């Protein structure tokens, strides 16, 4: 049974949605007071519903760029907009993170002592959504990833692949427009990684969200609409 609720409010609050969900203009980032230049003049646009891989070797700056594009970190220079909004403003960033942006990390960042269902409820706390609606969404997503039977299991009792599938569900709980995934299958064996990766793409595509995926594994760039090679501080078409 489809227990889906209608999509949450759109961004910007008034007027049309921008056609690009992410825009980066001449973005620069270095660490150690400029001694470690990592991102050097990146320009890119990610369209609505587009799946884009950031591919590059270890240390090339994939995570750094992902953090900048998601508003988790700020560039030294340049402009980034998410859904037409400026994430450098704290209030905007929080609003984006709460409702419009979802994250899937390599180490899933779930709370091991809580059940799958309890973990899925967490992103919805600040939204004050009715508990029944939140649980319906959790059940819907759990079913989509084949984990309905695991909703009341503690995370610590789930396998690596089940945990990562739970992390995907959690990222989608608030029906975000954009998902940022940082090596989401990095901790899994090859076969499980394939299953989880395909599930991520299928589910996100069904939801109509965009995905920006950081990966060092070129196998996973093939499932995306487009790939950018992160190399020497630039993001160039692969
Ligand atoms: N907070 C930080 N302080 C100092 N240096 C950093 C910081 N974050 C990242 N770096 C450096 O920036 C470079 C890029 O790191 P980043 O994590 O973005 O690479 P990556 O492509 O995601 O690598 P991996 O595939 O190994 O995760 C590395 O040389 C890293 O050491």
Within 33-177, strands assigned E span 36-47, 51-55, 77-82, 101-105
Q: What is residue 16's predicted lDDT score, i.e. its pLDDT?
A: 55
| Residue 100 belongs to some domain of the structure | yes
Q: Tell whether ligand 1 has an atom less than 6 A from the beta carbon of residue 2.
A: no
Is 32 near ligand 1, meaning CB less than 6 Å away?
yes
Shortest-distance atom of ligand 1 to CA 60: 21
Asked whether residue 10 is assigned to any structural domain, the reply reads: no
Tell me the helices (H) and strands (E) count for the chain, helix number first. 6, 9
**Which alpha helices (H) appear in 96-130, and where do they start and end?**
116-121
CATH number reported for the structural domain that contains residue 128 in this entry: 3.40.50.300
Q: What is the pLDDT at residue 50?
A: 94
Over the stretch 159-181, which tens digit does the pLDDT of each residue have? Answer: 999 999 999 999 999 999 999 99
- Whole-number pLDDT of residue 154: 97
- Cβ of 233 closer than 6 Å to ligand 1, yes or no, is no
- Of all protein residues, the one whose alpha carbon is nearest to atom 7 of ligand 1 is 31
**Residues lower than pLDDT 70 in the chain:** 1-18
Read off φ and ψ for residue 81, nearest 5 degrees: -125, 145
Q: Is residue 95 part of a domain?
A: yes
Distance, CA 79 to ligand 1 centroid (Å)? 21
Radius of gyration for the alpha carbons in the chain, expressed in angstroms and rounded:
17
The answer to whether position 106 is within a domain reads yes
Alpha helices in 71-189 (DSSP H): 90-95, 116-121, 131-144, 160-172
What is the extent of the structural domain holding 131? 49-60+91-237
Confirm whether the ipTM is greater than 0.90. yes
What residues form DSSP beta bridges with 79?
A: 25
Smallest CA separation from ligand 1 atom 3, residue: 31
Whether 176 is in the pocket of ligand 1, judged by its Cβ within 6 Å, is no
Q: 56 CB less than 6 Å from ligand 1?
A: yes
pLDDT of residue 17: 54
Which residue's CA lies nearest to atom 8 of ligand 1?
64
Token digits of residue 28: 């620069």
The answer, yes or no, to whether any atom of ligand 1 lies below 6 A from the CB of 215, is no
* Closest C-alpha residue for ligand 1 atom 29: 59
Q: Whose CA is nearest to atom 18 of ligand 1?
A: 61
Ligand 1 neighbour 59 (Cβ under 6 A): yes
Cβ neighbors of 132 (< 8 A, separation 6 or more) are none
Which residue is closest in CA terms to ligand 1's atom 17?
A: 63
Query: Is residue 63 in contact with ligand 1, taking CB distance under 6 Å?
Result: yes
The pLDDT value given to residue 18: 56
Q: Is residue 31 part of a domain?
A: no
Structure tokens at 146: 């084949």
User: Per the structure, how many domains does the chain have?
Assistant: 1
In angstroms, the Cα distances linking 137 to 131, 144, 147, 161 are 10, 11, 13, 21
- Closest atom, ligand 1, to C-alpha of 182: 22
**Which residue, among 161, 219, 168, 11, has the nearest Cα to 98 in the 3D structure?**
11
Task: Indicate if ligand 1 lies below 6 Å from the C-beta of 109.
Answer: no
The whole-number pLDDT of residue 8 equals: 32
Q: Is residue 101 part of a domain?
A: yes
What angle do the packed helices 190-207 and 160-172 form, to 10 degrees? Answer: 20
Q: Specify if 70 maps to a domain.
A: no
pLDDT at site 129: 81
Q: Is residue 232 a part of any domain in this protein?
A: yes
Q: What is the pLDDT of residue 41?
A: 97
């Amino acid at each position: 049974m489809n227990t889906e609720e209608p999509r949450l409010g759109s961004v910007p609050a008034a007027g049309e949605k921008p056609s690009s969900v992410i825009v980066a203009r001449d973005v620069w980032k270095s660490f150690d007071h400029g001694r470690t230049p990592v991102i050097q003049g990146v320009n890119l646009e990610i369209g609505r519903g587009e799946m884009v891989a950031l591919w590059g070797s270890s240390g090339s700056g994939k995570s750094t760029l992902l953090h900048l594009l998601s508003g988790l970190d700020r560039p030294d220079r340049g402009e980034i907009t998410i859904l037409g909004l400026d994430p450098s403003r704290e209030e905007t960033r929080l609003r984006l993170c709460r409702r419009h942006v979802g994250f899937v990390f390599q180490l899933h960042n779930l709370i091991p002592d809580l059940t799958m269902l309890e973990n899925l409820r967490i992103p919805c706390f600040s939204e004050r959504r009715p508990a029944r609606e939140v649980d319906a969404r959790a059940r819907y997503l759990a079913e989509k990833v084949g984990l309905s039977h695991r909703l009341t299991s503690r995370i610590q009792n789930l396998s690596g692949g089940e945990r990562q599938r739970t992390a995907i569900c959690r990222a989608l709980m608030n029906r975000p427009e954009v998902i940022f995934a940082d090596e989401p299958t990095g901790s899994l064996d090859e076969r499980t990684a394939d299953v989880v990766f395909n599930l991520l793409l299928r589910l996100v595509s069904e939801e109509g969200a965009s995905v920006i995926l950081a990966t060092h594994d070129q196998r996973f760039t093939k499932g995306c609409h487009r790939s950018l090679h992160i190399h020497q501080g630039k993001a160039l078409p692969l």
